[in-house]
Structure 1
Amino acid sequence: MAEQTPLPSSASLIWILAGEASGDVLGARLMHALRARNPAIHFAGVGGVRMEEQGLRSLFPMRDLAVMGLVEILPRLRALSARLNEAVQDIEARRPDLVVTIDSPGFALRLLRRISGFGIPRVHYVAPQVWAWRQKRVKEFPGMWEELLCLLPFEEAFFSKHGLLTKFVGHPVLQSGAETGDATRFYRRHGLPDGARVLILMPGSRRSEAPRLLPVFGRMLALLQRDMPDVVPVIPVSPVVAATVERETARWPVRPVIVTDVQDKHDAFAAAGAALTKSGTSTLELALAGVPMAVTYRVNPLTAFMARRLIRVPYVAMVNLLAGRAIVPELLQEQCRPSVLANAVRALFEDPTLANAQKEAFKTVLHGLQGPGGKLPADAAAEAVLDLLAGRARKAD
């Protein structure tokens, strides 16, 4: 258990949890917005580098929670159970004024259930995607939190009809700065020759994801080298998977530019002509930056078999789901092959009609992600948390 420092009597303590890189960024923005409104707020909990920059002393390393997949998680169950017990004990000892859990439903929802008898208000930030699969699970949620903050506009109506107090706060990708990059700066910083074609590769932020996609990406690059020798692969990575990416790409036919700095990532987006990315928030980042893309993913075959039987939405790429149509290719499982991916990349680089059609569709998708009243998503989320902290939970619109 982390060392506890006595708080002033006027201070509020918020216990906050993020379990992966995207949640860490979300948590850091929320912490900053909360402190801007109430400097007396203090934080405890679990987070990564971004949240630690905001003053959090993480109870244990966030990377211990960064795992996904129905099969992949099995070897980690005992360790995850121990971390869950540790988090529960810390909350019980600290008795915070409020608990905020961010995404990572496998861990976060178990934590919320375990502390339900503590009498501490709870907020879950980023709605579980039960609207996509296993919709019956929504019946388990009443009583698990006092308020649910969601990122997607259709989620508020979905959860509200099940009697769950839910507020749409806007999608944080709009605060990411992904559209602010400088292509010239990226070329200069990394010594790239004029005319080099930058290809963004985003294999995932979890340690269980990257090893499945990186070998396929490496073999794809070998094929591209035959007729597109000027392609430069760029891999933006989080600290959680940086060592894994270095190891997995050591023998690639083209050594990638591995980017760890956020601004450098955005500069890479500005320089890019195409991207291959996993499904999820990364598709929205690339859309905001106007990077044409294809989505690909590969998980354990048993995980894929089970997921296909449960998924109830027509698309897995967030941009496609929000658009209601396939604006970017989805190359999943059996289609996640070097030759298929290479053909998709060639088309993105060489067919301006295809690339421009994607960019136009991205604008419509992003417009629908703006928060209520034009507020920044982190500000809307912070106000909802402070309302609950003050005992004035808002009614859903």
Structure 2
Amino acid sequence: MNIFLIAGEPSGDALGAALMAGFAELVPGCRFAGVGGEGMAEAGLTSLFPMSDLSVMGLAEVLPRISLLRRRITQTAQAIAEQRPDLVVTIDSPDFCLRVLKRARAARPDLPVVHYVAPSVWAWRPKRAARMAPLVDHVLALLPFEPPYMQAAGMSCDFVGHPVVAAPRATQAEAQAIRQAQTVVLALPGSRGGEIARLAPRFGQALGQALPPGAQVLVPTVAAQAEHMRAQVARWPVPAQVLTESAQKRAAFRAADVALAASGTVSLELAANDTPMVIGYDMAWLTQRIAERLIKLDTVTLVNLVSETRAVPEYLGRACTADNLAQGLRNLLADPARQADQRAAMRLTMDRLGQGGDAPGYRAAASCLAFMSRKAGGGPSPVP
């Protein structure tokens, strides 16, 4: 069996590597081609070109690389046409992947296509699913409430579990080793430069107002943003330690009593480690005004959405002030009942995301095979 995969971001590379492992377990001897990063290379993929060519976001970053991106689209579509794989799996990165699929489908209309990571049509831009449907047959969803949205647009879809349920976690001994105070707080003001610049000053002020004397503040971050984060943290009114080493970051997530975090998938990482949180987020002025018009939800925190509760307090846009964040932290630190409510919601979230079942990569591979069986006329074949 020949499978062509395309990933354009580190998160997609991690999903792709786990998916490849699932295929290798279910279909020994299958062959892989396409585009990926280090994780997919370790799983047996020789990438057509460096995945970093695609890892850009934002108009200012994309514009200088338009010519390169166009060449990579053409190169990838040609490789699909020449190799005639049994299956194409595109992983997130819809701007690139859908352009490739448009060309590949024009040359081979019957090409079986699976897309991994459903677009967030439940939050905003609902027409994205309809635009994707002519190019994609089947979708692998990370969140349990996403399949009906994809099915309504004309694609089959399986919830296959979120990768957070299979991520490694620190032991209790490792967590204890990093604790140096009675109160340990995680500060997570984002992983991109713009997020850090906007949120870190407010997070620092909030921590200064809310924390008891002697509290330990840990700031896990990605290596690429370490110097930027250190420069921000140096201006905080409380001492804080920036962490970039993977084992230390895992230990910090498990060791913390509470966290102050930017909105995003980090809320699921905190849930996996049973760490109560306060969420804050803000965007550039124009982006925030547009988002307020487009987003129809009363919460954007994934723990709240998956658990169908509103246990995690969030302060978004104009509400994301140091005073509000500080009050949220004080409330959480002082009230064991609030912490207990969050922990119940986090446990429910992890259960609903597939914790305790088959690994998401295995489920994703099984879903792909079930889709191919249906397409070949073999009838329905549910995900294990």
TM range (shorter): 0.7 to 0.9
Contact between 2:5 and 2:91, CA under 8 Å: does it hold in 1?
Answer: no
> Which residue pairs with 2:321 in the alignment?
337
The 1:204–1:169 alpha-carbon spacing in structure 2 relative to 1, beyond 3 Å, is same
Q: How many residues align?
A: 373
Distance 2:56 2:235 in 1: 26
Q: Which structure 2 residues correspond to residues 98-247 of structure 1 after superposition, within 5 A?
A: 98-119=87-108, 120-177=111-168, 180-188=169-177, 190=178, 192-195=179-182, 197-224=183-210, 227-237=212-222, 239-242=223-226, 244-247=228-231
Matched, 1:291 2:279: no
**Partner residue of 1:277 out of 228, 252, 261:** 261
**3-state SS of 1:210 partner:** helix
The 1:111–1:90 alpha-carbon spacing in structure 2 relative to 1, beyond 3 Å, is closer
- CA drift of 1:57 comes to 4.7
Distance 1:271 1:286 in 2: 11
**Partner residue of 1:95 out of 65, 83, 91:** 83
Distance 2:341 2:60 in 1: 42
Query: Per-residue displacement from partner, 1:280-318 (whole Å, max 9, x unpaired)?
Result: 322122112111011111211111111111112221111
> Which residue pairs with 2:358 in the alignment?
375
Distance 1:296 1:288 in 2: 19
Query: Per-residue displacement from partner, 1:214-254 (whole Å, max 9, x unpaired)?
Result: 333233344446x43323223143x5544543454454452
- CA drift of 1:278 comes to 2.4
For 1:146, the aligned partner's letter is D
For 1:73, the aligned partner's letter is L
**3-state SS of 2:257 partner:** strand
The 1:247–1:309 alpha-carbon spacing in structure 2 relative to 1, beyond 3 Å, is same
For 1:65, the aligned partner's letter is S
- CA drift of 1:361 comes to 1.8
Gaps of 5+ in 1: 1-10
Matched, 1:350 2:334: yes
For 1:351, the aligned partner's letter is D
- CA drift of 1:79 comes to 1.8
- CA drift of 1:41 comes to 3.4
Query: Per-residue displacement from partner, 1:48-86 (whole Å, max 9, x unpaired)?
Result: 44334434455224385253xxxx435523425632531
- CA drift of 1:387 comes to 4.6
Gaps of 5+ in 2: none
Query: Per-residue displacement from partner, 1:331-354 (whole Å, max 9, x unpaired)?
Result: 112222222222222322232111
Distance 2:322 2:341 in 1: 25
Q: Which moved more, 1:240-249 or 1:348-357?
A: 240-249
TM-score after normalising by structure 2: 0.84
Matched, 1:60 2:50: yes
Query: Per-residue displacement from partner, 1:364-395 (whole Å, max 9, x unpaired)?
Result: 23222228x94332111012234556764875
The 1:200–1:105 alpha-carbon spacing in structure 2 relative to 1, beyond 3 Å, is farther
**Partner residue of 1:50 out of 23, 34, 39:** 39
The 1:323–1:185 alpha-carbon spacing in structure 2 relative to 1, beyond 3 Å, is closer
> Which residue pairs with 1:41 in the alignment?
30
The 1:46–1:394 alpha-carbon spacing in structure 2 relative to 1, beyond 3 Å, is farther
The 1:234–1:79 alpha-carbon spacing in structure 2 relative to 1, beyond 3 Å, is same
- CA drift of 1:42 comes to 3.9
> Which residue pairs with 1:385 in the alignment?
368
Contact between 1:16 and 1:43, CA under 8 Å: does it hold in 2?
Answer: no
TM-score after normalising by structure 1: 0.82
Contact between 1:148 and 1:164, CA under 8 Å: does it hold in 2?
Answer: yes
Contact between 2:311 and 2:345, CA under 8 Å: does it hold in 1?
Answer: yes
- CA drift of 1:17 comes to 1.0
